Structure 1
Amino acid sequence: MNTMHSRRELLKLSLLGGIGLSFHPYLDIVKENKKILSRAIPSSGESLPIVGLGTWQTFDAGNSEQQRKILSQVLLEMHRLGGTVIDSSPMYGSSEKVVGDLTNRLQFKDDLFYATKVWTSGKEAGIRQMEASMSKMRRNTMDLIQIHNLVDWKTHVKTLREWKDEQKIRYWGITHYVDSSHSTLERIIKVERPDFVQFNYSIRSRHAENSLFAAAKKYKTATIINQPYESGSLFRLVRGKQLPQWAKEQSINSWGQYFLKFILSNEDVTCVIPGTSKPHHMIDNMGAGLGKMPGTHMRNKMLTHLKSL
């Protein structure tokens, strides 16, 4: 049997119980119940698992019981392999409510790290939206609220600082998803010192390496990475192509792990949040947080190989 399957073909085996677990070395993580690596949040020293879960589109399931059942399994797989971070937003349709409803049924609900965002203008509107988000996600205290895409950030920073002082939230942050906003994120980091900054970074989109990562490190701001798969374009690039044989030596067993491990091998990355609504993809994503991380030589090799495709 070829040990380098596509993401979809290989990981569907994980849902087949003993059949899948018995003959593919990648699925050792299921049998051994390994936990992914963690990195410290600079402002507190608290450890955070390096792979989390984004909910844009993927958790916008409304009242569909069938979809909710599958999403519950996604959460169970994330937790079983050591993940805790769930990132949502009022921009993501019903995602906040779905997260709240599903996690409320879990025994480990208070072990998770809940993050959402404020995405509106005006102080009072921001307060109403954040209170609604906390209600939907069923949290009396939110772990992290971020200013989504910098919308009215000067107003919301003041509220978030007050809420942190009042212990309504544990951390606050800022977000964006395009390179052109990186300079603004840097300026805010230098002046406002947020606990977190969330931005885009991937194997082909490395603008953040110019100076954003350095600013976050200097001012002790944790980094959350969005767009790790470039909205799926990376998978389209490698469709039908086999992983190089040397990838296995780096504990890379799928193209998804190839892309995520490149990101995570940057030690200035605190956590990456690929979105998924599929349990087998959740297992795959978590697998990127296990085993050795590529060094400088291997990162360059991964880049060169991808450019050759």
Structure 2
Amino acid sequence: MASRRQILQGGASLAVLAALTPWSLSASFAAGALLSRPIPSSGEALPVIGLGTSRTHDVALDDKALKPLREVLRTLANSGASLVDTAPSYGRAEAVCGALAAENGLRRKLFLASKVSSTGREAGRRQIEASFAALRSDTIDLMQVHNLQDTRTQLELLRELKEQGRVRYIGVTHYLDSAHERLLEVLREEPVDFVQFNYSIGERNAERELLPYCADKGIAVLINRPFQRAALFERVRGKTLPDWVTVELGATSWAQLMLKFILANPAVTAVIPATSNPRYMADNLQAGQGRLPDAAQRKRIVELFA
């Protein structure tokens, strides 16, 4: 399967990425150009580009391993973005996020999201307390029931933590099309602030019911798997980004185009592509400013990946 790096090799997009650094980003986003959307349950603005940490942040807690991830987080924060999504099931990712967020007062700039994936109330409580310790924070911005595991029990616990002020928002997650019906059932029965699920150019099942339902009921939506774990890059292997994409949408890479496609759906609150590469983080952030595709342009984008 083609990686993002392979798709970019030798192309104009690689030159664009090479020029992007955490320091150059602070200038490009100085005017607050990064789009934000309100969290429906509160009205709080959340920047539309965040960071996922599955696979990419399961590294040793030493300077060599943390260096690129530190730059990723600095790049995110320098742009005005804030959302970092992690989970206990992502290996050492939660502890890595906690260690990096604790550096130089960065925590106050971040919106930290984690998950609970236990069965039973006490097991869930223990795991959540471990998350507070790993993230080195007295408050977690968003706690989610991961992949609908023991959903009712864990949501009851999360509501208590929200009432205590230790958790600011609660939600549920999954990452497969096959779980969308179950997600809808939970959303109809359980009041939550957020739901997280997969949606991309290649996985559009959420357009049928989930996204319209969330828009109608005022539920914030986080999107995972925006690149289908790099499968979408395979579809454009050897293809040059069409000129109309840059002229009409301001996108300068295939990744930006994929993210803009997702953000064009107004039900989406934010998208959380995972990366351990600061230049990819910078590239992703560019998708959160400028124009988004209309219905006709979205149709043309789908055709590019056919």
Give the TM-score taking structure 1 as reference length. Answer: 0.91
Is the partner of 2:291 in helix, strand or coil?
A: coil
Partners of 1:189 and 1:305 in 2: how far apart?
A: 34
Amino acid at match of 2:274: G
**Partner of 2:252 in structure 1?**
253
Partners of 1:192 and 1:15 in 2: how far apart?
A: 42
The runs of 5 or more residues in structure 1 that have no matched partner are 22-26
**Partner of 2:93 in structure 1?**
95
| 1:5 and 2:11 correspond | yes
| 1:41 and 2:39 correspond | yes
**Partner of 1:121 in structure 2?**
119
CA RMSD of aligned residues (A): 1.8
Partners of 1:78 and 1:34 in 2: how far apart?
A: 15
CA shift, 1:108, in A, is 3.4
**Partner of 1:302 in structure 2?**
301
Partners of 2:21 and 2:194 in 1: how far apart?
A: 35
Is the partner of 1:235 in helix, strand or coil?
A: helix
Partners of 2:212 and 2:178 in 1: how far apart?
A: 17
Question: What is the number of equivalent residue pairs in this alignment?
Answer: 295
**Partner of 2:281 in structure 1?**
282
**CA deviation digits over 1:216-241, x for unaligned, max 9?**
12221100000000011011221221
CA shift, 1:6, in A, is 5.7
Amino acid at match of 1:103: A
**Partner of 1:178 in structure 2?**
176
**Partner of 2:105 in structure 1?**
107
Relative distance call for 1:16 and 1:183 in structure 2 (3 A) is closer
CA shift, 1:93, in A, is 0.5
CA shift, 1:15, in A, is 4.7
Partners of 1:260 and 1:54 in 2: how far apart?
A: 14
CA shift, 1:154, in A, is 1.3
Is the partner of 2:223 in helix, strand or coil?
A: strand
Partners of 1:151 and 1:9 in 2: how far apart?
A: 44
CA shift, 1:13, in A, is 3.0
CA shift, 1:9, in A, is 5.0
Amino acid at match of 1:278: N
Are the equivalent residues in 2 in contact too, given 1:7–1:256 (CA < 8 A)? no
The runs of 5 or more residues in structure 2 that have no matched partner are 1-9
Instruction: Give the % identical residues.
Output: 41
**CA deviation digits over 1:190-233, x for unaligned, max 9?**
11121000000001111000000122122211000000000110
**Partner of 1:291 in structure 2?**
290
Are the equivalent residues in 2 in contact too, given 1:201–1:227 (CA < 8 A)? yes
| 1:219 and 2:217 correspond | yes
Question: What is the aligned counterpart of 2:146 among 145, 148, 168?
Answer: 148
**CA deviation digits over 1:40-86, x for unaligned, max 9?**
00011100000000000111112231121111111111111111000
Give the TM-score taking structure 2 as reference length. Answer: 0.92
